[in-house]
Amino acid sequence: MANEIAKGPAAPGVAKVDPILVADGVRREFGGLVAVDVEHLEIPRGKITALIGPNGAGKTTLFNLLTGFDKPNTGKWTFQGRDLAGVPAFKVARIGMVRTFQLTKALSLLTVLDNMRLGAKHQPGESLLRALVRPLWRKREAEITVAAEELLKRFKLDAKSDDFAASLSGGQRKLLEMARALMSKPVLVMLDEPMAGVNPALTQSLLEHIKGLKDDGTTVLFVEHDMHMVRHISDWVIVMAEGRIVAEGPPNEVMKNPAVIDAYLGAHHDSDLGADKIAKEAN
Amino acid sequence: MDLIVALQSSFGELITAGTAAFVLCAIGLAIHFGFTGLLNFGQAAFAAVGAYGYAIAALDFKAPLVLSVLFGLLCAVIFAVLLGIPTLRLRADYLAIVTIAAAQVFKFVATSSAITDPSGNVITGGAEGLSEFGGTFYSLNPVPAGEYQVFGNSLTQDQIWVDIVGWLLVVVCALLTYFLTRSPWGRALKGIREDEDAVRSLGKNVYLYKMQALILGGCMAALGGMVFVINSQTVQPTVWGTNFTFTIWTVLLLGGATTVLGPIAGGVVFFTLFAFIQKVLEGLVAIHWMGSLTIPQVGQIRLILVGLALMLLVIFRPQGLFGNKKETLFNG
Amino acid sequence: MTRLRSLAGLLLLLGTVFATLLGGTAASPAQAATCAAADPTLPYIVEGTLLNNGETPLKGVQVNLTGNGVDACVLSDENGYFMLTVAKPAKYTVSIETSTLPAGVGVDPADQASQAVDLTVTSDQGVIFPLGKVADTSVSIWAQLADRLFNGLNMGLLLALASIGISLIFGTTGFSNFAHGDMVSLGAMLTWFMTQILGWPILAAGAVAIVAVGASAYLQDAAIWRPLRRRRLGLNQMMIVSIGFSIVFRYLILIFFGGETKDLGSSTEPVAWMAPITTTSTSLIGMGISAVALAGVALFLTKTRIGKATRAVSDNSSLAASTGIDVERIIRIVWILAGLLTGIAGVLWGLRYQANWSTGFDILLLLFAATTLGGLGTSLGTAVGAIIIGLVVETSALVIPTDLTYASALFILILVLLVRPQGILGKKQRLG
Ligand SMILES: Nc1ncnc2c1ncn2[C@@H]1O[C@H](COP(=O)(O)OP(=O)(O)O)[C@@H](O)[C@H]1O
Ligand SMILES: [Mg+2]
C-alpha cells in the first residue's frame, strides 16, 4: 500500500506519488505556544487521508491555515501546483478546496434546502445587480435545487429540507454541513471531526458517504479521534502531536508505531490501540 | 382628557413624510442588521450625509433635482465605504463602535465652521445648517395649489407632495428589499448573518457582500434623510444624533428586523404610540398628575420610554411584535 | 427658553433614590451697568450661548448688535447665554467684544467674531461664536506643545480610569458596554449636586459620588446584565440593550439634574510655577489621584488572588471556571471596580472640564478609541491607549480647529483597525 501512495518508506513528510496538496515550513504560534510546526506535508490525490492526534495537537489550526482562515507566521503551500499562501479563504474554497468546521456551522435561520443551495458555485443570482432580474438566475437556481435535493436524499435529510437548520439534531447538522460542502463539487474536502457527536446509527452511513466521495474522484482529508473509523476507511494516516507531524503511513502500520502510541496515550501504554476507548482517552 | 382626539391627531402625524423618512432608514437598517447582521449604530449619520449632500448639491452646485439626489447618494456610498473598509473584516463590535463614533464626529464636522469653500462660506452651514434648497423639488409638484384636509389635518399642496414622494420611496425601497432578499444574493446575506465563516468556507466573498449591504442600506437611509429635510427645507447638525439612530432601531425591532414589512409596521406603531404618549403625558402634566414635571421634560420621558422599549424588545421579543418566534433573529 | 430652571432631585438608578431635595437655582443674569438687559417684550430675538471649546460656558462676555439704527449690547450669563432683542425685522450685525473674553480665549476662526443675522426670515436667530484657546503667537510653539502634552496627559489619565472599566467588562464577559460613559456623567453630576447645592466639601462629595457610581454599576450588573447572561442572550443583543439602557440612563440624569453645563467649583487660578504649562491645583491633585488609582488597579490585577482570577477569566472563562474560579463572582467584582474607577473619572472630569448630562456619552468615542487602540480586553493596553488618545486629542488642537479635536480619536480608531485590529497589546481572536 505504501508504495502505491508514497514514494519512499512511510515517514513523516514522505513525498507522495501524486500529491494534491504540498505544504512546507508551515508554522503558527499563539503567544509563546507553537500550535503548528509542519516541516513538509503532502496529501495524496484521490485518496482518503486521516489526520489524527490528541486534542490540542494543532489539527484544526492546520486546517485553518491551509484554507486561509488563519495566517501562519511562516510557510508556503500549494494546491494542485497553485501557490495558496496569502490567498483569502473564499478563494481557496472556489479553487476547489472546501472545509467543514469542528464546531458545526449550520446556518440556523436558513432552511436546510437554502443551506444546501448556498453551497453551490457559479450562481449568477449571487451578484447584486443580477439578483434583481429573476430570469437571469432562475435556470441555475432550478439546477442547484435538483442537485441539493439529490444530496439531501443521499444524506437522509430530504424530509427536513424545508425546516430551519436550527431544528436539526447535532448529528444531522454535521451531515448537513458535509452535504453543503459537497454542493460545490470540491476537488479536496477537508472534514474537521465529521463523526464527532453523530449517533452511531448514522456514523456507518457517514463512513459510506466518505467512501463514496473517493469513488467519485474527490480527495478527502479528515480529522478524527476514533481509530476504529480511521482504520476502516482511510488509505493513509497522518499523526500530529504538539504541532508536529510525528508519523505517517498506511493505517495498520501507523497504529503499531510506538511514536503514535506515545503521542496518543502518554502513560497508558498497555491499552489496545484499535479500541474505541482510545477516542475517549484522547478526548 | 380626550383620548379619541389624541389618537386621531396621532394618526394624522403618521402619514407624514417624517414617518416615511424613518421607515426608509429602518428598511436600510433591516438590510444591515436584519438580513446581514451588521451592527450599524450610526444610521443617523447616513441619513445626514444624504441630506447634506442633497442640500449642498442644490445650493452650491445649483444641480437639478436628479443630480442633487444622486450626489446625496454618492456621499452615502463614500461614507459607507470609508466606514466599511476598516471594520467589515473584523468582529461585529467594531462596526458598532466605528459607526457610533463616526456619527458623533459627523455632527462635530457639520457644526464646525472650519470647513469652508473657496469663497469663505461654511460648506455645511455650521450650527445654523443649510436652508432653502427645495426649489427644484417643489417646482415639480403636480398637486394643484390649495388647502387639503387629510385625516383632520390641513395640509398645503407642498406638504402633500412631500408625503406622496416620501411614501412612494418607501414602497420602492420595500419592493427592492423584498426581491433582493428572496434572491440568491439575499440568501448569501442571511448566511453571513448566521455565520460568516461558514459562508466564507463555501467560496463567497463575505467582505464584498457586507460592503454591498452597508452601501445599499446606507443609501436608503440617505434617501430617508433627504425626505426628512425636504419639508422644512432646512438641514441642521443637531437633529442627527443618537436619538435619531436609536429611534430607527426601535422602529425596526418593533416591526421585526428580518421582514420587509417589519420596518413599515414598526414605523406605524412607533409613531402612533410616540405621538399618543406625548399627548397623554402632556395631559397628565396639565392636570398635575406628573409631580413637578414640565412639558419639555415630558419629551425627555418619551425618550426614556424609547430606550426602555429598545431594551425590552431585544430581550423579550427579538422577533418584533409581528414576527414569528421561530425566526428569532438573535441566536447567541 | 426660560432662564429660571427648577432643579429636581437626585437620580439613582432604576428606582433607587438616595435622597431627594427640591431646590431652585435662579440663574441671575449678570448685568453690567453699561449694557442694559434685553427688553423681553420686543419680538425679534438674537440669542446664543458662549462656550469655550464647545463645552465651558463663558460668563460676562459682551455681545453687540448693530445695524438699522440699533446699537445694543448684552453680557453673557453664567451659562454663557446671551439674548438681544430688537423691535423691527431687518439685517443686523452681531459681534463679540473680544476684549471681554478671558485671556487666551479667542474666536477661531477670527472672522467669525462678527456675524450677519437676518431677522427678516426668522424672528428668533441663534448665533454661534466658535470660541477656543487661541494660539498665542507670543508663546513659542514648544511652550504650546508642552502645555498641550501636559493637558493631554491629564485627559489621558482620566480616559484611562473610565475606559479600563469597559475593557475589564469586555474581557470577562465579551460584551462592549455602550452605557459606560453615562457613569462618568453620573459621577460628575452627583459631585456637582453635593458640592454646589448641598454645599458639601469636595472631598466628601467626591467620595460619596464615587461610591454611588460603584453602587450603580453593581446594580446595573445585578438588575440587567447578570439576568441576561443567565438567559444566554447573545453579545450583539446585549450591545443593543446597552444602547437602550444608555438612553434611559442619560435622560434620567437630564431630568434629575437639568441640562446646563455644571461648574463644580474648582479653582481656575493657574499654578504659577508650572508655566508655560497652564494647569490648576485641582487638575494637579486630580492627576495625582488618577495615577494612584491606576497604579492600584495594576497592583490589584497582578498581585492579588482576585486580580489574577480576573485575568484568568479574561483569558479563557470556561477554562477558568473549570479550575474552580467563581466566574460570576469575578464579573460582579469587575463591575464594581469598573464603576468605582469610572466614578473617579467622572468626579475628576467634572472638576477639570465641567460637565453636563451627556458628557459621558460625548466622550464614549474617546473611551472606545482608547480600548481599541490598547486592545479590547487588556487593561494595561487600555491605559496606554487612553493616554495616547488624550495626548493626540489635546495636541491635535495645534493643527486642527478646537471643535474638531475629538475627530482625531476616530481617525486613530480607524487607523488601528486597518493596521493592527487587535490593538497594541491585544491577542487575535480564535476560530473554531
Ligand atoms: N486563536 C488561538 N489563540 C490561542 N491559542 C490557540 C488558538 N487556536 C488554537 N490555539 C491553541 O493551539 C493548540 C492547537 O489547537 P487546535 O488546532 O485546536 O488542536 P486540535 O484541533 O488538534 O485539537 C491548542 O493548544 C490550542 O489551545
Ligand atoms: Mg480540533
| Residue pLDDT, tens place only, B272-292 | 888 888 888 888 888 877 777
Q: What pLDDT sits at residue C428?
A: 56
Q: What is the DSSP string of A55-66?
A: TTSSHHHHHHHH
Report yes or no: B101 and C365 within 8 Å, Cβ to Cβ. Answer: yes
Give C73's strand partners.
C64
Each domain of chain B, given as residue ranges in start order, spans 3-129+146-328
Closest by Cα among B50, B91, B93 to B70: B50
C-alpha to C-alpha distance for B51 and B47, rounded to whole angstroms: 6
The one-letter code for the residue type at C286 is: G
C-alpha to C-alpha distance for C406 and C364, rounded to whole angstroms: 11
**Which of B188, B212, B331 is nearest residue A108 as measured by Cβ atoms?**
B331
Provide mean pLDDT across the span C131-138. 68
C-alpha to C-alpha distance for C273 and A50, rounded to whole angstroms: 75
Contacts for B296-299: CB closer than 8 Å, 24+ residues apart = B297/C255
Q: Does B324 touch chain A (CB under 8 A)?
A: no
Could you tell me the distance, in angstroms and rounded to a whole number, from the CA of residue B282 to the centre of ligand 1? 60
Residue ID of nearest Cα to ligand 1 atom 24:
A56
User: Given a cut of 60, is residue A124 above it in pLDDT?
Assistant: yes
Provide mean pLDDT across the span C59-84. 87
Closest by Cα among C330, C310, C347, C405 to C162: C347
User: Given a cut of 80, is residue C3 above it in pLDDT?
Assistant: no
C-alpha to C-alpha distance for B101 and C365, rounded to whole angstroms: 5
Residues with CB under 6 A from ligand 1: A 30, 33, 35, 53, 55-61; C 428, 430
Q: Where are the beta strands (DSSP E) in chain A?
A: 19-30, 33-44, 48-52, 74-79, 82-83, 97-99, 188-192, 219-223, 236-241, 244-249
R_g (Cα) of chain A, nearest Å: 19
C-alpha to C-alpha distance for B276 and A270, rounded to whole angstroms: 78
CATH superfamily, domain A2-106+169-282, is P-loop containing nucleotide triphosphate hydrolases (3.40.50.300)
Residues 6+ apart with CB under 8 A from B116: B122, B123
Overall residue count recorded for chain B in this entry = 332
Q: What pLDDT sits at residue A269?
A: 42
Q: What pLDDT sits at residue A265?
A: 61
Q: Does C251 touch chain B (CB under 8 A)?
A: yes
Give C71's strand partners.
C66
Test C427 with A31 for CB contact under 8 angstroms.
yes
Q: What pLDDT sits at residue C20?
A: 24
Q: What is the DSSP string of B68-123?
A: HHHHHHHHHHHHHHHHHHHHTTS-HHHHHHHHHHHHHHHHHHHH-S--B-TTS-BT
User: Given a cut of 90, is residue C88 above it in pLDDT?
Assistant: no
The pLDDT tens digits of the residues spanning B301-312 come to 889 999 999 999
Closest by Cα among C106, C117, C110 to C46: C117
Q: Which of B201, B204, B326 to mutate to test the interface with A (most CBs of A within 10 A)?
A: B201
C-alpha to C-alpha distance for A59 and A39, rounded to whole angstroms: 14
Q: Does B210 touch chain A (CB under 8 A)?
A: no
Residues 6+ apart with CB under 8 A from A131: A125, A137, B179, B180, B183, B184, B185, B186
The pLDDT tens digits of the residues spanning A192-232 come to 998 887 788 778 888 888 898 999 899 999 998 777 778 88
C-alpha to C-alpha distance for B104 and B241, rounded to whole angstroms: 7
Could you tell me the distance, in angstroms and rounded to a whole number, from the CA of residue A245 to the centre of ligand 2? 15
Residue ranges of domains in chain C, CATH in brackets: 35-133 (2.60.40.10), 141-262+271-419 (1.10.3470)
Which grid coordinates belong to A22? 504540498
User: Given a cut of 60, is residue A268 above it in pLDDT?
Assistant: no
Which grid coordinates belong to A203? 456514523
Closest by Cα among C218, C43, C142 to C398: C142
Instruction: Write out chain A residues lying below 8 Å of B203, CB-based.
Output: 90-91, 93-94, 98, 121, 184
C-alpha to C-alpha distance for B219 and A46, rounded to whole angstroms: 49
C-alpha to C-alpha distance for A226 and A281, rounded to whole angstroms: 10
C-alpha to C-alpha distance for A54 and A197, rounded to whole angstroms: 17
Q: Determine the residue of chain C that is closest to B122 in CA distance.
A: C112
C-alpha to C-alpha distance for A215 and A217, rounded to whole angstroms: 5
Which grid coordinates belong to C336? 464594581
C-alpha to C-alpha distance for A241 and A62, rounded to whole angstroms: 12
Burial B272-301 (b: 16+ CB within 10 A, else e): bbbbbbbbebebebeeeebeebeeebbebb
User: Given a cut of 60, is residue A280 above it in pLDDT?
Assistant: no
Is residue B147 classed exposed, middle or buried when 0-12, 13-18 and 19+ CB atoms within 10 A define those classes?
exposed
What region, left, alpha or beta, does residue B159 occupy, with left being phi > 0 and alpha being psi -120 to 50 degrees?
alpha
| Residue C4 host element (H or E) | strand C4-7
Which grid coordinates belong to C346? 467622572
Test B120 with C111 for CB contact under 8 angstroms.
yes
In angstroms, the separation between the Cα of residue A272 and the nearest Cα of chain C is 30
Q: Does B332 touch chain A (CB under 8 A)?
A: no
Provide mean pLDDT across the span C204-211. 97
Could you tell me the distance, in angstroms and rounded to a whole number, from the CA of residue A76 to the centre of ligand 1? 20
The sheet with strand A33-44 has its strands ordered as: A33-44, A19-30, A74-79, A82-83
Test A102 with C431 for CB contact under 8 angstroms.
no
Phi and psi at C124, nearest 5°, equal -140, 105
Q: What pLDDT sits at residue C41?
A: 81
DSSP state of A16: B
Each domain of chain A, given as residue ranges in start order, spans 2-106+169-282, 108-167
User: Given a cut of 70, is residue C141 above it in pLDDT?
Assistant: yes
Q: Is the dihedral of CA C346, C349, C351, C357 positive or negative?
A: negative
User: Given a cut of 60, is residue C21 above it in pLDDT?
Assistant: no
C-alpha to C-alpha distance for A119 and A183, rounded to whole angstroms: 5
User: Given a cut of 90, is residue C155 above it in pLDDT?
Assistant: yes
C-alpha to C-alpha distance for A132 and A18, rounded to whole angstroms: 45
Q: What pLDDT sits at residue A3?
A: 60
Q: Determine the residue of chain C that is closest to B329 in CA distance.
A: C237
Provide mean pLDDT across the span C273-289. 87
At the top level of CATH, which class does the domain B3-129+146-328 belong to? mainly alpha
| Residue A167 host element (H or E) | none
C-alpha to C-alpha distance for C427 and C423, rounded to whole angstroms: 8
Q: How many CB atoms lie within 10 A of CB A45?
A: 18
C-alpha to C-alpha distance for B100 and B84, rounded to whole angstroms: 13
C-alpha to C-alpha distance for C248 and C271, rounded to whole angstroms: 40
Instruction: Write out chain A residues lying below 8 Å of C319, CB-based.
Output: none
Which grid coordinates belong to B64? 437639478
The pLDDT tens digits of the residues spanning C95-117 come to 888 888 887 788 877 778 888 88
pLDDT, greater one: A3 or A224 = A224
A193 flagged as catalytic: yes
Touching A (3+ Cβ pairs <8 A), the chains are B, C
Q: What share of residues in chain C are helix, strand, coil (percent, to 5)?
A: 55, 15, 30
pTM for this model (two decimals): 0.85
Q: What pLDDT sits at residue B326?
A: 58
DSSP state of A165: G
Lowest-confidence range among A13-17, B195-199, C179-183, C265-269?
A: C265-269
Give the ligand at the shortest distance from the Cα of A64.
Answer: 1
User: Given a cut of 50, is residue A161 above it in pLDDT?
Assistant: yes
Which of A119-133, C65-79, C117-131, C401-415 shows the highest mean pLDDT? A119-133
Residues of C with CB under 8 A from a CB of A: 427-428, 431-432
R_g (Cα) of chain C, nearest Å: 24
**Which of A69, A134, A137 is nearest residue B197 as measured by Cβ atoms?**
A69
pLDDT tens for chain B, residues 1 to 332: 466 766 666 677 788 899 999 999 999 999 999 999 999 999 999 999 999 999 999 999 999 999 999 999 999 999 999 999 999 998 888 999 999 999 999 999 999 888 888 877 888 988 889 999 999 999 999 999 989 887 777 889 999 999 999 999 999 999 999 999 999 999 999 999 999 999 999 999 999 999 999 999 999 999 999 999 999 999 999 999 999 999 999 999 999 888 899 999 999 889 888 888 888 888 888 887 777 777 778 888 889 999 999 999 999 988 888 766 555 555 43
The pLDDT tens digits of the residues spanning C33-63 come to 467 777 878 888 888 888 887 778 888 888 9
Test B187 with A94 for CB contact under 8 angstroms.
no
Q: What pLDDT sits at residue C402?
A: 84
CA neighbours closer than 13 Å in the CB half-sphere of residue B29 = 37
Instruction: For chain C, give the mean pLDDT.
Output: 84
C-alpha to C-alpha distance for C100 and C76, rounded to whole angstroms: 10
Which of ligand 1's atoms lies nearest the C-alpha of A55? 23
